[in-house]
Amino acid sequence: MAESVSRKGRQEQANFMHVDDLGGLEVLQATYRRQTFSRHSHEGFCVGVIDEGAQRFYRTGGEHVAPLGSVILVNADDIHTGSSASEDGWSYQAMYPKPELLAFLSRDLKTVAGATPYFPNPVVQDAGLAGQLRLAFGMMRSNENRLVKETLVFSALTWLMLRHGKSRIEPATQSKAQSQIARIKAFLDDFPEANISLLELAEKAGLSPYYLLRQFQQATGLPPHAYQIQARLRKGRQLLKAGNGVLETALACGFHDQSHFHRHFRKSIGVTPGDYVKSLR
């Protein structure tokens, strides 16, 4: 069964859904006019279709515009933004499959060969794929059985990887600085609520504050303080899923108060923490 919640504003509407039959796959169907997404990232991929208008967004070092009928692709952990590219805003549907799911589906694909795929193009024009994705989105909102939903969703994602996926080639070794940056990233992921200073992070890394800032942003696309906010939001979603209250979650994640949490959550997820909780029921 799909659990969803709708949020309607004067000119905006967002429906966030967890598809239980697909392991809690997160799906968003939205119409935005004034909504802007600040720089953020997702643990999963973002695969979306523009149904009306056009969206402007940053990804992979540049600005892109996704017009009507195009498919939006954002890799897991890619820093990206989002806003309207037209006066009337934009409507779209998006799903956020985890890397493990795509790696599982790609086991028999020559282009990816069982690895987590990488999508080099942020926007693709592929009417067939867009149609398959729309069918999948419609099926996820229906009461059809799990087998039907899996068939359409997995087929669409497999087609996506076959036509537009590549294998990301990782370097065999890391430089000392990369290892130190990875250590800081892991610390912020594990303890996002920590009230830690730049000097303390630099000491942990064994780097100067300036060099840490430069290398961290080069590696992650965000400075440490902005990355910490994203880590706090990831922890926040985990706590909300576990049944914790919004205020309790906000404070546990290191936010000053509930409004601080609310503001950052909506700028990254597109719905409020309260709406996100309702989608879990």
Question: What domains, with CATH codes, occur in the chain?
Answer: 2-167 (2.60.120.10), 176-279 (1.10.10.60)
Give pTM, 2 decimals: 0.80
**Encoded tokens for 97:** 């499959």
For residue 66 the two structure tokens come to: 């996704």
pLDDT digits (tens, 9 = 90+) for 95-107: 999 999 998 888 7
pLDDT given at position 170: 52
Cβ neighbours around 275 below 10 Å, total: 19
SS3 118: strand
**Beta carbons within 8 Å of 79's beta carbon, 6+ residues apart:** 39, 40, 41, 58, 59, 220, 221, 222
Measured between alpha carbons, how far is 44 from 97 in angstroms, rounded to an integer? 5
What pLDDT does residue 116 have? 86
pLDDT (mean) for 57-78: 95
Integer distance in angstroms from the first to the last C-alpha of the chain?
11
Model confidence over 255-280: pLDDT tens digits? 999 999 999 999 999 999 999 999 88
Q: How far is 170 from 195, CA to CA, in rounded Å? A: 32
* 47, pLDDT greater than 60: yes
- Could you report the per-residue pLDDT of 145-188, keeping only the tens digit for each? 788 899 999 999 999 999 999 876 554 445 667 889 999 999 99
8 Å CB contact between 222 and 79: yes
| Contacts for 180-184: CB closer than 8 Å, 24+ residues apart | 180/205, 180/206, 180/207, 180/215, 181/205, 181/212, 181/215, 181/216, 181/219, 181/220, 182/219, 184/212, 184/216, 184/224
Residue 111's pLDDT band, with cuts at 50, 70 and 90, is: low
